[in-house]
Every structure is written in structure tokens, then in C-alpha cells.
Structure 1
Amino acid sequence: MRIGPALDAVLRTTTIYDLRAAGAQDAIVVGAGAAGGLAALLLAEAGLRVLVLDAGWRQSAQRSWVRRATATITRTLADPATLRLLPPKAVPLGKIALRSVGLLRQPIQSRCSVWGRMPEAFVDDRDCPYATPPDQPFVWIRARTLGGRVGLPGHGRQYYRLSSSDLAPRDGLSAPWPLEPGELDPWYSMVERRLKLAGAMDDVPWQPDSHLSRELEPSLNQFAVMAAIGARWPHSRPMLTRFAAPLDALEGAALTGRLRCREGAVVRQIDVDRSGRVRGVVWFDQQSGTDVRACAPLVFLCASALESTRILSLSRSSKAVQGLGAQSDALGRYLMDHIVVTGLLLKHI
């Protein structure tokens, strides 16, 4: 994500001493990704003083020289231009060297297809370990950077609406969402206008049409691929992507003068009072190496699906012994996140 002058000034001037003061902010947003950035922008535009907390941290050159050096080596080895300069027999050795660099500190994150292009955006697996059952391994890819995964190289930046079949599945296995058909449409339209979404009106039942700022027509190559898919699978309905460039939401929020943003803030729990009412957030501050508590009557949890679940599970009190939301039996279940699917389909056309 682009850090403009207004956001840069906010990052430099946001200190934990100011944040600890009672009444210092009206709302706290956890996570500075696509959802958190837009939430901060809308709240700031509405006149609220907003504090954004994000676990990503741009360390100083003195403290991160090893990480920077490793990232530079990794990007060099992953650059196709570098591989083209190597003799053909040396290319496998270059790839082995790239994998070896990843195994030093990021054995899990280096499995991501775009890790080599921006390794510093991913967590350090040695510092951030996790455990899974032996018979249920799970590769947890975590990006900690302002803007979230939208800022990663190769991210599709695609945006689609959920259909009625998504919200009320008829497979007999999935529980319906507590939403009425069309209930999200005004919110979808608001976000799509902000993003200036580009795409096409496809008129397919499983993918509701979006509010488009720019309609696209398929190129000759795209048309040929879509025609080939239709010929091979007559009941299919190929459609164009719906995409948008990243929104500079935090820069816009900073320009209102009502934003503060703290990097390196690994949120531990949502703080609640004796009645169970939310009153703030507790986080480990990587910059100072201390635990910090900030108060606000509104908290927006916009971390990733698993990170948000972790935070809610640790947010325990006498009113929520197993964590906030645990009494609904939904905490830790029905998680929704991005998946990556390679274009193997084209090989069969």
C-alpha cells in the first residue's frame, strides 16, 4: 500500500503515551487491510477520532538489516530476469538457493507463490509459530503490512458479491447465514463505488452483478478462451473478472486529521468491563516491547479470519469465559478467507 505524506506523518507522530490517555479516541480499528482501511476512512469522515492498530512494522535499518539483506537476496533469486542470466543448468541451483533462504526464517510463508517477490511482507515463522494436529496440517500464510494482502505482488484484487445460494446453501451441509437476500446490496454498492470497480454485467444467477464504474469488453484472447470453455462445457458461463486497484483508504483517513495509526501492534484481546461491554484493546507493542492498553467505546475487528478468531478467543471475562462470541457456537467455525487456484484449466482446453 502506498504511504502518502499524510499517513507517513501520522505514523511518525502516533505515540503510545498519547493513546493511553482516557478519551483519546472514539473508535479503534484492528487491522489495516482492505476492510480495516475502509472502516477507518468511513469513521474519520463521519467525524470520529480513529486509532488503527496493525501488526505490520517497518523496522529501522539498524534493527532489521539482517531481514532486509535476506529480503534483497530472496527478491534477486526470485526475479525471472536473474534466472535468465544464469546458465540453464544453474537455474535449478538458483531455485534451491531461494528455497534455502526461505527455510532460514520463513519455512511456512515461503510456500506462498509470491513470497519471493516480497518476503518482508510475511511473518517470521520462527517468531510466530503455530501448531496443528498431526493428521490435520494447515499452512497459515500471514502477511503483516499496511494494506494487508491487497498490497502483495500478484494479488488479484478481485471483488465479487455473495449470491443467495452462498448465503443459504442447499447442500444440506452448510448452515444458512442470518441475512436476508439483498440485505448486503447497499453496502456492496457503497464499497464498489469507492473502489471504482471495473468488470462486466454478466447476468449469471450464481454471481450477482456489481455496481461498475467502468464496464469492460473481453479482448480477442479472452474471447477465445471463454469460447473454448463454453464449447468444452456447454452449461458453463465464463465471465470476466471484476477488479479494482487498491484504495488509499488510510491516506484518505489521515487527510481528515482524525486518524492515528500504530504499526507493530499485535492485538492480544478486546478489553471489556464487568458488565461485558467493550471498552478498549490490549496489544503487545513491538516498537516499545511493552503491553499497551487503549480505551474506546467502539472497536472494529478487521484482522484476517484466523487472527480475528484468535483475538476473540483470548478476549475472556466473567461474562465470556470462552471468549467473546463463544456462546453462539460460531466462534472458530464458518471461517471465510481467500484461496488461490492455479490456472490448470487452460491446459485442458
Structure 2
Amino acid sequence: MFDAIVVGSGMSGGWVAKELTEKGLKTLVIERGRHVEHGSDYKDGLQPWELENYGMVPEDEADKDYFVQKRCYAFSTANQDFWVKDSDHPYTYPADKPFLWIRGYHLGGRSIMWGRQSYRMSPMDFESNAKDGHGNDWPIRYEDLKPWYDHVEKFAGISGSKDGLPQLPDGEFLPAMAFTGTEVDFKKKLEAKWPTRKMIMGRAAHLTAVTPEQEELGRSTCQYRALCERGCSFGAYFSSLSATLPAAERTGNLTIVTDAIVHSVVYDPKTKKATGVRVIDAKTREGRTYEAKVIFLNASTIPTAQILLNSKSEAFPNGLANRSDAVGRYLMDHISLGAGGTYPGFEDRYHHGRRPNGFYIPRYRNVTEKAESFVRGFGYQGGIYRDNWRRGVNAPGVGAELKNNMRKPGPWQVRLTGFGEMLPRKENRVTIHQSNVDQWGMPIVNIDCGVGPNERAMLDQIGKDAREMLESAGATNIGVATYYGGLGLGIHEMGTAHMGKDPTKSVLNKYNQAHDVPNLFITDGSAMASGGCQNPSLTYMAMSARGAHYAAEFLKEGRI
């Protein structure tokens, strides 16, 4: 019997494990994938010529086994073992609504491969559902989460600048990374043309300076290699493996079990509490049960819904904690659309190093500039870098002329990608097949999720605004994507077990505690009642630290 079980070892699960163990709780972390050793299992030290196929996975292998994962920008032979084989992990979706589910099943989860952009949600984000009527009102507000944002930022290490923007609250930052000279020029032109739009350096979970605690955990400053998706042996960016799990391990209160697929949560109708979890050994297919006083589901948005829906009983015939029929519903992602062009001038300059970050243009639509055709808004991530010799891969020419052209840097290229908020809608949902199971006996999930008129209007505006900003700055050869790429590629799944005030409409209360099962907590992306347009991982971290705090307090007080 453990004090607590945490299902999942990624972004949120690692935080829960750290907080609970530091409060003295004997905690079991269950990871469905293999063990990964921080540092020694990474390929971040390999030179380009040392990578198999120069980092490119053979097309026939990618098409056969990684037909979804290959769509992720970070997929390569340098980290191929961090991505699931789609051929081994099936799921379904309607033919007219594909959902591209990017996954990594291993210790540390997607915290190893994430994009590291780290932004707080704002007061307006927590109030939006109540104000415009979409989705269900959050049971908390920004002020409830603010001290926990402070807490996780200080430990994780977030670089950024204090910009005083109400739609993007400032935090506890390490020094910000620097703009390139061309980006400084673009910023001046942008803010002169549109004073209500601001361009800031991206807020990223990279150490630009090291605190004593971070140093004690073996972490050091960013080396500006931009090889982050391989894992970072320096521990320069935040991940479960570089930070939260080592912090939990040093307490002596942590047990980790890998290759254990959680099948369902065990519920006792007499006590009306969860007593443990059933697992399937990923290697032997044998079943076993672990017991604990408190259960945290942090398996990530879609698997958490899968586990709840599979945890059926006489008390919960439609899935555990699902009296509201909200489990699996209100699935969200972020929609995105890219644009780019050639930036003029600065031919006597070049960028320094490979900065693993870019600039950010925070949301301005429906903040300082009204949008007539949609509610909520979007922000842009981007960067301006000078072309190097790799542009020659697709350049016309042969022989001496081509070689001479490649000896000189190419032009500066600017890239903007808009990320927009998706409305929470009940019909966007995850369900499980009743008879179609995977090789481990788990019901396969069906993802039925699509964009609506609001998202389509927003995507149109993202493209128009991007083109206008690039043209105003003097960019040439401008291209704007005509298709957003498909849901799932935002890799920000949220909302399948959301927080809310009304137990008949939501799954969790203001403490991330299940309305119907008092010792069950959920603090991964499934808990989100809305998504804002910011990258959500920092909010998952803050919710996880906060939820773990209350769970420990409630357990101590005998309330659960």
C-alpha cells in the first residue's frame, strides 16, 4: 500500500511526484513505457555525420510504422525511439475528421521532446467561458493559480522578460535570450505600424542562469545547440528526467515502475473511494494491482479519458467519475497556421549560435483589436535567421557555381506561426471501442474532433494578419499556408476531464479533485476547461503542484 499512485511520468506526473514525495508521501509512479536514463540514453552528443541516414528515417519505415509520428517536426533517427510505433498503438477517427495524435511512451514522456515554450494563462483566459458562454466556467481564477505559477517557474527555470502585458502575465524569470539584429528591426517596424501589437522574446524553459537547487540536481545552462528534441545531457531545459523526478528520488519516498499499462482504476462502492489501479505488464501481458490512499491520473489527456472510461462499475456504468457524461468530451487542441518570407537587408550580419527559442507576438485580437468574426484569439511564434549551406539541398545548379554560391550565407528568412484557441465543444470527444482492443487488451480509443466556424474564421485572420505584418516589414517571397495541417499537430490536447463548478456538467472541482471520487485527482491536460492560445504546459505544471498540495493536505486532515 502506497500513500499515492501517480499514473504517468511526463510533464504533470513528474510535478505531482515531486510535490507529494517532498511532503513525505510514499509515492508510486507508474509509466506505461520503457525506462529512459537521463543523459546516457540521449543522442544529443552525436555529430550530423554520425546520425543514421543524416537523421532521416527511411520513407518505407516511416510510412509503415510512424505514419502519424512522422508528421511531427522533431521526428528523426536521433530520437526515433522516443516516438510510439503507430502500427503497434492503433486508434480510430472519422474519415472526414483526422486527428494526428503525437505520442511518446517512455519514462519522462513528452517532456523530453516538448517545444519548451512556457506561458501563463491570463485572468481573461480563466474568465472567457463565463463571458462568452462557450464551455463551462472554470472553478478557479488566475489569482488562485498565480502563486503556483511562481513556484513552478522558480524550480523549472523559465527564461523571459517582464513585459507588463495583461493578456500574458509576467512571471519569475531567468534572463531572456537575445533577439537577432533582424528581429530587433522587425520588432521596431511592427510596433511602429501597430502600437497595440507587441513582440517579445519567447519565454522558454531553458536555463540562462543556474540556481543552487538546479545545480544540485546536475543541471547547467543552455549551450545553444538546438538539439533539444534528442534530450539534453546538460539538463539545460526542463523535463521530468532532468528536474522533477530526480528531486522526488532524493527524498527516498519515490518508487517508479515502468512497462506497466494502467488498465483501470479500482473503485470501492462501500467507501466511495478509489483503492488502486489495475495494470497490464507491457512485456508479459500479465495483470496486477497496486493500491494507494490517493490516485493521480497524469497519463495525458486522451489516455486519462481512456482509463476513466474503462473503469466501469455498477456505481459508474459509463466510466469512473462520469456522472456528468463529461469524461472524454470537450477535447481541444491549438490550431496553427504558418507564414514566411525573405527579410530585407542585414547582408553584413549573421546570427550567433543556434538559439533554441524564438520571438512571440502575444494575442491582440479581442484584446486591443476587435475581431468581428470570432471570439477568443491567437498569438504568433517566430524567428528570423540567415540561410546557411543547407539551402543548397534543393537549390538548382551543379559544380563550381553551386559550390561558390554555398560559400556565402543566403538571405535572412522570417517565419511566423500563429497558434489559436479552440473553443470547448461537447461534441468533440474521445470514446472507447467496446470490442476492438489493442495487443494488451486495452479498448482502442476513437477520437471524434473537428474545427468549427470560429476556428475557421480565426485561421483566416491568422493568415491575413501574418501576410500584412510581413509585407509591412518589407519581406518578399511571402508564402502563407492555405491549410492548418490538422488537429493534433498542435500537440496540446486538453479538456477530456475538465474542471468546473457544477458536478452535473464537469468532472473535477477547484482542487482538481473528482466530484464523485474524493481521493481521485487529475492534473494533466484533461483538466483544462479552456485552453487560451498560449502553450499550456506551464499551466499543467502549476495545476499539478497545486493539486498535489491540496491532496496531501486533505489526506493529512482525514478528508479523503
**For residues 306 and 46 of structure 1, what CA distance do their matches in structure 2 show?**
29
Q: Secondary structure at the match of 1:125?
A: coil
Tell me what 2:269 maps to.
274
Question: Is 136-145 or 166-175 further displaced after alignment?
Answer: 166-175
- Aligned residue pair count: 294
Letter in 2 for 1:144: Y
What is aligned with 2:300? Answer: 304
Superposed counterparts of 1:113-128, under 5 Å: 113-116=73-76, 117-128=78-89
| Structure 1 residues without counterparts, runs of 5 or longer | 1-22, 60-73, 80-94
Name the structure 2 match of 1:204. Answer: 165
- Residue matched to 1:76: 52
TM-score (norm 1): 0.77
Sequence identity percentage: 33
Give deviations 1:260-311, integer Å, cap 9, x for gaps. 1111111111111123311101111113321121000111111111111111
Q: Distance in 2 between matches of 1:180 and 1:58?
A: 37
- Whether the aligned pair in 1 keeps the contact of 2:18 and 2:245 (CA below 8 Å) is yes
CA distance in 2, matches of 1:267, 1:135: 31
Q: 1:159 aligns with which of 103, 118, 137?
A: 118
1:57 aligned onto 2:34: yes
Question: 1:124 deviation in Å?
Answer: 1.5
Distance 2:188 2:106 in 1: 40
Find 1:140's aligned residue among 84, 88, 101: 101
Distance 1:255 1:266, change over 3 A: same
Structure having the higher helix fraction is 1
**Which residues of 2 match residues 1-349 of structure 1 at below 5 A?**
23=1, 25-58=2-35, 76-79=52-55, 98-116=58-76, 117-152=78-113, 155-169=114-128, 170-212=131-173, 214-216=174-176, 218-221=178-181, 222-231=183-192, 233-244=194-205, 245-246=237-238, 247-275=242-270, 276-335=272-331, 344=340, 346-347=414-415, 348=470, 349=473
Closer, same or farther: CA 341–38 of 1 in aligned 2, 3 Å: farther
Q: Is the 8 A contact 1:52 1:262 kept in 2?
A: yes
* Cα offsets for 1:160-187 (capped at 9, x unmatched): 1111221121444343212134111121
TM-score (norm 2): 0.49
- Specify the SS of the correspondent of 2:296: strand
Distance 1:314 1:44 in 2: 28
Cα distance in structure 2, aligned partners of 1:125 and 1:217: 36
Distance 2:100 2:137 in 1: 27
What whole-Å deviation, never above 9, does each CA across 1:130-166 have from its counterpart, x for those lacking one? 01112211111111122221212xx321221111221
Q: Which amino acid aligns with 1:108?
A: V
User: Does the 8 Å contact 2:159/2:177 carry over to 1?
Assistant: no
**Relative contact order, CA 8 A, sep 6+: which one is greater?**
1
Greater share of strand residues, 1 or 2?
Answer: 2
Q: Give the drift of 1:337.
A: 5.4
CA apart distance, 1:78: 4.7
Tell me the SS of whatever aligns to 1:123.
coil
TM-align CA RMSD: 2.5
Give the Cα–Cα distance (whole angstroms) in 2 for the partners of residues 261 and 324 of structure 1: 25
Code of the residue aligned with 1:263 in structure 2: it is: T
Whole-Å Cα distance in 2 between the matches of residues 268 and 148 of structure 1?
Answer: 18
